[in-house]
Chains A and B, each alone.
Chain A
Amino acid sequence: MQIEITPSVKNLGQKNLGGVVMYRITDKKDLSPIDYFIEVEAPHVAKAWKPGQFVIFITHEKGERIPMSVYKAEDGKIGMFIRKLGKTTLELYHEFDVGDTLWSITGPLGKAIEVKDYGNVVFASDAVCGHAENHATLKAMKEAGNYTISIQSFEDKENVYPEKFLAKSVADEYYLTTQDGSMGIKGDFLDVIKGLIENDKVDIIFAGGNLGTLAQLAELTRPYGIPTITTIRQIMVDGTGMCGSCRILYDGKIRFACRDGPMFDAHKVDWEDVIRRGKRFLELEKRARERYLQRLNEKHGKEVF
């Protein structure tokens, strides 16, 4: 059986017994050919959210619980940056529009990072979740009196986000890099960080994005003993500490990324396993993605994605 989802009537079902909950989509914009911004009404989450914490949403009744970082939480709304990756993130992009509703949003989840005066605070990011956190974290750090340095790395010029979604506005010092040098500095954020360390400009580094780069960052800063806090993305189910899907080895002990993280001291993380465990369901995910894309393309009578 196929799931038929007709936009705008799909989520009127009464999930919460107290009444119909509406997590209405209030804004949706392209950030790049592969990433998009989405804003959803979720006052209970927006009110409590602090930098470092994430949310979990479900698009519809048959959906998966999907963890997401938060770009901003204001006026009862949650803004997120999402990469079109597999079934859910593609479906959300192609079938949900402003005015439609999501089935569930829980949060904030995880621990907030400590916002205080550290001195010079760096946030480096090279992928979608990291870019959201970059902005969110530095905004709070700047308000707390820190000197904020933001580094954002993209594939190439075409993939750079529109200016208003970059972390520039919350950074005292800002670097943009592209892998191919088509815009800003050529290379990734590691090179920029090396330079900053040499100039003795770093008191603490936060980072989010590709786990591979984050692992390299950990090795880069380890000899200098610079506190390095990174997001550990693991496959999650509940996000409340109830299943252990997100378990990692941290300082030799089992920790749950959803409950004890998702920001961890990068120097204590067992990176090899963290990177590998993200691929646990690869074959099944591929199946779901292909099945969905086939449906999508059939619906539109052409190759949409």
Chain B
Amino acid sequence: MAKIIKERIPTPERSVDERVKSFAEVNLGYTFELAQKEAARCIQCPYDFAPCIKGCPVHINIPAFISKIKEGDIKEALRIIWNDNTLPAITGRVCPQEDQCEGACVVGKVGTAVNIGKLERFVADYAREQGIDKELLEEELKKIEPKDGKIAIVGSGPAGLTAAGELAKMGYKVTIFEALHLPGGVLIYGIPEFRLPKEILKVELEKLKKLGVEVKTDYLVGRTVTLEELCEEYDAVFIGTGAGTPKLLNLPGILLDRIYSANEFLTRVNLMKAYQFPEYDTPIGVGKKTIVIGAGNTAMDAARSALRLGSDVTIAYRRGKEDMTARIEEIHHAEEEGVKFEFFLNPVEFIGNENHKVKAVKFEKMKPLEEKDKRGKRKIVGTGEYVTLEADTVIIAIGLEPNKIITESKGLKVNPNGTLVVDETLMTSIPGVFAGGDAIRGEATVILAMGDGKRAAESIHRYIESKKGA
């Protein structure tokens, strides 16, 4: 067996100096040559064994696509990925690979894992730049046999987009209903440009259009049209409305100015482009010192956006460093860019000045216990000691709950945490209505949402077939 190359081939990145002043993408991705070098590190575990495939929520045949990179056949590499994942340019950028494929990689046991995420991204980016993805799409278009059946998709995040794409490829007539004025869900309103350029999403949306998918933006299902009405007009419905409701801390001072939920902050900045105010009309007020509460991806995105708007930023987290839930790459980038971290601090009060603008946050110091909670994190308790940190901007990123408006629809069963009840085929309590993504999981990941979209598409197909048979 060839010798294992222990160290990863690094991916080029923009310099920190340049980064902190711009929303341009940080990681520049592999070139063809670098990708081939990194691909050569893969030891090609056999399909039945490969831990990376098992670690991938949608089970992409990873060794196979990497071997095609080695051969220089990017079209075949893309075809292999597309079998399980139609949005590799996106997942290559945002998946928590360290907990999935890369976390399981055999090479990682003796050195650093093969950079599967960046290789996936390379295949997608290279294919897009060279027009290879269009060729492949044309081939797929030729295979489509139109079927009877109209399907409504509610929400255009990764779950909805994937379900739409899969169903369109099966030959169904698909219409997406999206509440916002642009499709993409968290991919467009949440994840910033410096991590996921909007241009990439646009290309994916154009592919869906080629597949004949219709997208109706400006439609809030539950208000503009009810779920009942959709059920009458369509043969099946898929709900992918995500978890977009911010949890807010009902603490004294929560209504002070310059306290944002991460969603408000990120929506203003990303979707509405407030970082280009006043050329764009939507304003955002960021002061000199920002505290971000929380330590997930949302918190990192908010922190790094505030930093780019010129603020000094501190992340305050009630647990410890090793408990942070964000992707490792984001934490690393945040540290590099100068975001500071404070651990074991739990907010108890927001303090305002005479103009009702926030000026400080009071925290209780916490300490960890040996005992672990359900998610395997150390439990924490208050110490009764308090500290006050100055801040003229506060961003709350302590979590999100499922969007409510659709869940109030007649006949739809909802779990106590607000997620929709589904069976193993992802069908909700209403026959013919399926659901997936954050709407059934609560805050989860892009790849799980996509996996659900694909599974639901298959279930919808079976459901429609069975109705025809009956």
Contact = CB atoms under 8 A, between A and B. Distances in A.
Interface of A: 1-3, 15-19, 21, 44-45, 48, 53, 58, 62-65, 87-88, 103-109, 237-238, 240-245, 247-249, 253-254, 259, 270, 273, 276-277, 280-281, 283-285, 287-288, 291
The 7 A-B residue pairs with the shortest CB-CB distance, nearest first, are A18-B214, A284-B283, A243-B264, A64-B281, A104-B181, A244-B261, A242-B244
B303 to A, nearest CB: 18
A108 B223 contact: yes
B205 A17 contact: yes
Interface of B: 175, 179-183, 189, 205-206, 208-209, 213-220, 223-225, 244-246, 248, 250, 254-255, 257-258, 260-261, 263-264, 267-268, 272-273, 277-285, 356, 403-405
A240 B268 CA distance: 14
Contact of B179 (A45, A106, A245, A270): A106
A36 to B, nearest CB: 19
A19 B215 CA distance: 9
Given A103-B181, A240-B179, A259-B404, A88 B281 contact: yes
A104 B208 contact: no
Nearest to A62: B280
A270 B214 CA distance: 44
A253 B281 contact: no
A15 B217 contact: yes
A17 B214 contact: yes
20 contacts: A15-B181, A16-B215, A17-B213, A19-B214, A44-B224, A48-B224, A58-B181, A62-B281, A104-B181, A106-B180, A238-B180, A240-B180, A242-B267, A244-B246, A244-B248, A249-B255, A280-B258, A280-B285, A284-B277, A287-B278
Nearest to B255: A273
B283 A244 contact: no
Contacts of A238: 179-180, 189, 267
A110 B38 CA distance: 52
Contacts, number: 150
Given A44-B218, A103-B181, A107-B224, A243 B254 contact: no
Nearest to B281: A64
A291 B278 contact: yes
B227 to A, nearest CB: 13
A259 B246 CA distance: 13
A247 B219 CA distance: 22
Contact of B267 (A17, A105, A243, A284): A243
A108 B206 CA distance: 28
Of A53, A281, A291, chain B has the most CB atoms within 10 Å of the CB of: A281
A87 B281 contact: yes
Nearest to B181: A104
A201 to B, nearest CB: 34
A243 B246 CA distance: 6
Contact of B215 (A1, A17, A245, A248): A17
B291 to A, nearest CB: 17
Contact of B248 (A103, A237, A254, A277): A254
Contact of B183 (A17, A237, A243): A17
Given A44-B219, A244-B264, A62 B273 contact: yes
B181 to A, nearest CB: 4
A171 B201 CA distance: 52
A2 B278 CA distance: 9
B351 to A, nearest CB: 16
Contacts of B217: 15-16, 21, 104
A105 B282 CA distance: 16
A109 B250 contact: no
Contact of B225 (A18, A21, A44, A53): A44
A244 B223 contact: no
A62 B276 CA distance: 10
Contacts of B356: 276
Nearest to A240: B179
Given A45-B218, A245-B261, A284-B285, 5 more contacts: A106-B180, A237-B264, A240-B244, A243-B267, A276-B356
A65 B254 CA distance: 24
